[in-house]
Structure 1
Amino acid sequence: MNNETPETAFMEWTVSFCSYGIDIARRDQTNLETLTGNNWLKDVDGKTVAVFYTGFGAAWGLGSFGMGGTPAQGARLPKTLRLSYHDYLEDRFYRLDAELPLQRLFELFVRAPKIVAREIRYGEVTPRYEDLRIGVAPDGHVMLWVWGVGSQVELGTYRARVLEGMTRQSYNANVPAGAFTLTEDRWLALDRMKPETVERVKAGWRPDPMWYMRHIRVKYPWRHVLSGNVSRVTELQSAHGNAEAENVGQWELGTYMQVNRLRAIPEAALFWFHDRRGQRHYLSINFSLRERAVSEPDLSEVRAAFEEVFPGRTLEDNDWLPGDQDMALVEVQVPDDFQRFTAFLVKGERRIPLPVGRVKHFELEPFTHWAGQTSERLTPEMRKLFQLGPP
């Protein structure tokens, strides 16, 4: 019998980081840096279970793993978090001291049903969630997610406080010799911005923190479906505009199609399906045509379609439980020649086109997931896991 509790559970888990994008910037950039020796996670007894520092190089909702983390043999789950960082765009220091929802973390990290990995650990049974992901938005707002193989859910939102009186120069003067230091020339740290972005920042422009903390987090009742040259969908992976994501195994598709739930607007999806001839396929599709900020998709057309069908929804409506009559479909049409894929938001008689950006499509060998894989690679045990799920 498993006697683990939130306070005693011990497992391997990681920490990763991301930050908000800067509009019309030249390319991926680091506008935040954490402070050496001022970042840690502690368990319920106050014992340090992870230390880290990072440059926050990943786009919002994605994971850039920092320096440091939990021991290779694992650790107890974290109860408290300290995060200290400098935001070059705002030229301010921040510190967050937060208590984490340990019970919720336990349910996700330890109790959530396991998944069969399709990527790096192909065919292995793995925890559905195993990474604590920290995202820093403008003005000291912080988002926490838990991430796993193709899945991500929100854990909590926080607000860091400004560390008054600190400067980059005073910080650098007090760190130990040879330790990590901040770039003292603020504009040198932001030199990847386009000239017009620099001028906007100098004139007082700042990204809107509520875009990250409220607007993109609004959820709607919908699910994915394929139509056209499709006989059956076998697996699905879906990314949403609020940085959450779902990984639906073959054994879970029935539940996915029957259980009504709210999701943020769709950002991208991966489908594994069979056509009418029985040929297996892989399809990757993005619902954006451009970026709105650094490595962040512009989902404005998708958002407009959902607001047309579900007017007036706010973040507070995320607690509402939808019924069968409320659910809409994000329908991706598969053409007979697999050349031009289209997508629609469908509810009742309403059928609103959605933008289709980057598309990748491959024919696959039976039971496989990626181009170039051969069926012989999958042992009978692996095939059973992908079909029926972990025991």
Structure 2
Amino acid sequence: MGTSKLRILILFIAGSFSLINCQNKKMEQKYSWLGTVSAPMEYPMEVYKGGIIADDFTYSFDAIWGTQNTGWGNEGGTMSVETRQMDIPNKLEFTWYSLVENTFYTGKWDLDKEKIKGLFEKGFIDQDNGKKTTYTNFIVGLAPKGKVVLWINGPGNQKEVGVFQAHDTIITQEKAYDNAKYMLKEGFAERMLKDPSYETFKPETRVKIEKEGYPAPDIYEAYREKFNWKPTVILPEGSEWIDFGLNNYNGEQENLFGETLTGDTYKSRAVPKFCGFYWRDKNKNRYAVWVDAFDEKEIFERFHQLGKEKNIDLIIKVNADNTGASLSLKNEKEELPIKNSKVRFSRKIE
């Protein structure tokens, strides 16, 4: 075979490969997603700049986002974008100012694209309409000491998809871009933290900080610890358990109903922070129960007492007229009472 024919053959093969790659890229499923920021209520963070980055799209953050401290794992605001369908993101970069620590942090990280793709593809069933849906938001969690957590979020469901470590950095007034220069003004952090007129903190958060100080900076890592547990609801005779929603200390959320409620649903989960459920009595009257808050010290102690070796049931036993409930944690060896939770009960729901 002549050299020119060989060259044409090589070019043809190479061209075929690039065409296959091109087709694979085109076939890759796109999804609609936006981004937002989360930070602990006690640790307000000032957004400097950042991006959730896909091959065809970057969801950007800058100083317009201002101070963020909606609570760990809770969504902040979102900015709408014109793009309707995006590739799955593969990179995250973020720079922010931690007011309490008076420190700028920055970092760039690769995302686990396959893990995110799997979650998008699997999605979940929307309880309201019984149809399959999927996640719509990424939440960038900014914690003290430069800890970053990325969650993916959809109605009633939130999963952790990455944990990263930023490093501290120095940004000067001269170096900062115009819209971010306010962060570098003398005494900015102190005013935001100390002057109640700025309303950086909710009044109850301010009182808690004054009384107990700021939470230990590494607690947001401790929140990620998991135990093998499931909820168990004990109702009056003839009643029906409808669903169970839970928010965990690590920022993850689940909504259980149907098979995910009644099946063998022991699963590796973080400690619950909030939960609630609906039930019907034998006359088909509907009621709700919400555990608005566990006592953090108590609930963590109870989980640690029962340990990770055995399956654990979080038991909520409701009385006949939906005015009281007893809570406990139980494994096959022992049952421990949970006494210091704030539980709320609905009247009959028509």
Same fold (TM over 0.5): yes
Alpha-carbon separation, structure 2, partners of 1:198 and 1:332: 34
**Does structure 1 residue 338 correspond to structure 2 residue 329?**
no
Say which one has the larger Rg.
2
Q: Give the alignment partner of residue 190 of structure 2, picking from 177, 187, 190.
A: 187
- Counterpart AA for 1:305: R
- Counterpart AA for 1:161: H
* Corresponding position of 1:94: 105
- Deviation, 1:72, is 5.0
- Deviation, 1:337, is 2.2
Residues 36 and 138, structure 2, Cα contact 8 Å, conserved in 1: yes
Cα 1:210–1:277 change in 2 (3 A) is same
* Corresponding position of 1:375: none
Kindly provide the CA deviation profile for residues 137-186 of structure 1, in whole angstroms up to 9, marking residues without a partner as x.
Answer: 1111111111111111111110112113x23x335xx424x677426222
* Corresponding position of 2:35: 15
Residues 32 and 84, structure 2, Cα contact 8 Å, conserved in 1: yes
Alpha-carbon separation, structure 1, partners of 2:250 and 2:268: 12
* Corresponding position of 2:158: 152
- Counterpart AA for 1:73: R
* Corresponding position of 1:175: 177
| Residue identity (%) | 19
**Does structure 1 residue 276 correspond to structure 2 residue 276?**
no
3-state DSSP of counterpart to 1:209:
coil
* Corresponding position of 1:33: 46
Alpha-carbon separation, structure 2, partners of 1:225 and 1:70: 42
Alpha-carbon separation, structure 1, partners of 2:24 and 2:227: 35
Residues 322 and 347, structure 2, Cα contact 8 Å, conserved in 1: no
* Corresponding position of 1:52: 61
- 1:95-174 residue pairs with structure 2 within 5 A? 95-109=106-120, 111-116=121-126, 118=128, 123=129, 125=131, 127-164=133-170, 166-167=171-172, 169-171=173-175, 174=176
Gaps of 5+ in 2: 1-22
* Corresponding position of 2:19: none
3-state DSSP of counterpart to 1:64:
coil
Deviation larger for 91-100 or 125-134? 125-134
Structure showing greater relative contact order (alpha-carbon pairs closer than 8 Å, 6 or more residues apart)? 1
**Does structure 1 residue 225 correspond to structure 2 residue 209?**
no
Aligned residues: 312
* Corresponding position of 2:298: 301
Cα 1:352–1:75 change in 2 (3 A) is same
* Corresponding position of 2:258: 250
Residues 220 and 265, structure 1, Cα contact 8 Å, conserved in 2: yes
- Deviation, 1:52, is 2.1
Q: Which has the larger share of helix? A: 2
- Deviation, 1:267, is 1.8
3-state DSSP of counterpart to 1:217:
coil
Deviation larger for 134-143 or 11-20? 11-20
Kindly provide the CA deviation profile for residues 34-86 of structure 1, in whole angstroms up to 9, marking residues without a partner as x.
Answer: 11xx312221x3x43311232223101111024x4543523222111111111
Cα 1:206–1:273 change in 2 (3 A) is closer
Gaps of 5+ in 1: 23-29, 289-297, 314-321, 366-391
* Corresponding position of 1:212: 220
3-state DSSP of counterpart to 1:51:
strand
**Does structure 1 residue 347 correspond to structure 2 residue 335?**
no
